[in-house]
Amino acid sequence: MKINSLIRIIYIPALLFFFASCHNFFDKDDEPTSEYLVTYEMTKSYTPTQIEWAFDQYFSEYPELLNLKNKFHRGFMVYKISYNTTFEDKNKVASGLVCFPMGEGAFPLLSYQNGTNTEHKNAPSVNPNNQLFMMLEFISSAGFVISLPDYLGFGSSDNMFHPYLHKESTVQSITDMLRAVRELAAIRSVQLKNELYITGYSQGGWATLQLQKAIETEHSKEFNLMASAPCAGPYDLNYINNQIRGLSEYPMPFFLGYICHSYSNLKEMITPLDEIFREPYASKIPDLFNGSYSGEAINAELTTVVPDLLTENYITNFETAEVYASLKTALEKNSISAWNTSVPTKIIHGTSDILVPFQVSQNLHTDFLAEGSGSNVELIPLTGLGHTEGIIPSGIISILWFVNLINN
């Protein structure tokens, strides 16, 4: 990844400042009472000098960003936070990363929803020096307050399963983090504009669009959503499932396993795993998603050969067999249908994506147009790029768009 050069530059001990908890600098008794924010700790900080040097050394690899160099001029602080949310009507403490720009001014809020993760150690608040997360933190230098939620099942809530691709809990945990970020901004005297920008890739693209729809239909008075850039998300889960069933090979078998593990734990799916997966894979799945294994490691425990992975009944009779009715309903419930949106939206997706087919985004864009969204929704194809290759280009497109929006 080209992010490596950024890491080399700004991850130099002489230039990287690690700070103790902000509790050492402020009297908690003087802080306002928080409804959502539970704890916060400043973990690192970058100076304007570091930012300028990083741009000179690193962004030459991305010429499209050079014209924005003068916009990335602020130092910024990175915080790990925990906050109150709810899951199945019970209180949960979740976590994430927050970045605050330094200096005077009022700043918009940008929420990035990260992609599919199976390892506890790779949550944003646990591994803030992850290459992608560091690049996202860096955007704060352009004048954004950055929110990076861990999702339930990671960080402070890693004692529970991750409700993968579950609409209700995903939206709840993200919106509650945005509320916690507001509270932390008030504590730290950071002025927030009433402007929200959202983006994410893969699972994060799906989460971004779920969040967008929830804000527009339920929380429009609380959040002023300015723009949304969902990227390569599995928006239509039934469509993707049906595509996979028709393949001879699928390179990411853990995707279906993760979904079924999630929906089974949520009690949204009552279908036995051995009705979906052949043995020995059906028996393996419950233990593979405990936060210890990477997606690659889980794939290695399964098989990419679809007829060997899935039962014949599942492949041929999923649409009609009663045993699969609960899973089919869960996939429909957690998919996203288009609506007449007034929020500027860029749906970004690689045309050669074989993990989450580009057709999913094409179909969604067509549906948005049919709902009357018109020019508010734009489909941006990344020609020739697959799922992994599309991560950085989609991020650059989103960043360029958001930075231009706040400066024009």
Q: Are residues 296 and 219 in the same domain?
A: no
Q: Are residues 88 and 110 in the same domain?
A: yes
Residue 54 has what pLDDT? 73
Distances (CA, A) of 286 to 115, 289, 303: 21, 6, 16
Round the average pLDDT of the chain to a whole number and report it. Answer: 91
Q: Report, as an integer, the average pLDDT of 78-88.
A: 98
Among 71-75, 148-152, 188-192, 337-341, the range scoring the smallest mean pLDDT is 71-75
Residue 408 has what pLDDT? 79
Q: Are residues 136 and 57 in the same domain?
A: yes
Among 13-27, 303-317, 362-376, the range scoring the smallest mean pLDDT is 13-27
Q: Are residues 9 and 61 in the same domain?
A: yes
| Cα 132 to Cα 261: distance, rounded to the nearest angstrom | 27
The string over 251-282, giving b where at least 16 C-beta atoms fall within 10 Å of a residue's C-beta and e elsewhere, is: ebbbbbbbbbbbbbbbebbebebeebbeeebb
Provide the 3-class DSSP secondary structure of residue 197.
strand
Checking if the pLDDT of 257 tops 50, the result is yes
Residue finishing a domain among 333, 354, 380? 333
Q: Are residues 363 and 375 in the same domain?
A: yes
Q: Are residues 201 and 309 in the same domain?
A: no
Residue 29 has what pLDDT? 53
Pairing of strands 225-231, 90-101: unpaired
> Hey, what are 312's tokens?
């014949």
pLDDT digits (tens, 9 = 90+) for 206-221: 999 999 999 999 999 9
Residues 6+ apart with CB under 8 A from 270: 326
Q: Are residues 213 and 275 in the same domain?
A: no
Q: Are residues 218 and 249 in the same domain?
A: no
Residue 58 has what pLDDT? 63
Query: Residue 225: what residue type?
Result: L
pLDDT digits (tens, 9 = 90+) for 131-169: 788 888 989 999 999 999 999 999 999 999 999 999 999
Domain count of the chain?
2
Residue finishing a domain among 299, 333, 367? 333
Among 160, 172, 144, 177, which Cα is nearest to 35's? 177
Residue 31 has what pLDDT? 66
Q: Are residues 32 and 174 in the same domain?
A: yes
Residue 190 has what pLDDT? 97
Q: Report, as an integer, the average pLDDT of 364-369.
A: 98
| Cα 100 to Cα 192: distance, rounded to the nearest angstrom | 10
Q: Are residues 75 and 42 in the same domain?
A: yes
pLDDT digits (tens, 9 = 90+) for 5-52: 444 444 433 333 333 334 433 445 566 689 999 999 999 999 988 888
| Cα 366 to Cα 252: distance, rounded to the nearest angstrom | 27
Q: Are residues 53 and 177 in the same domain?
A: yes
Q: Do the Cβ atoms of 140 and 105 come closer than 8 Å?
A: no
Q: Are residues 92 and 169 in the same domain?
A: yes
Write the CATH number for 277.
1.10.260.160
Q: Do the Cβ atoms of 289 and 281 come closer than 8 Å?
A: no
Write the CATH number for 56.
3.40.50.1820
Residue finishing a domain among 291, 308, 333? 333
**The domain containing residue 304 runs over which residues?**
237-333
pLDDT digits (tens, 9 = 90+) for 311-339: 999 999 999 999 999 999 999 999 999 99
Tokens 């950055």, residue located: 146
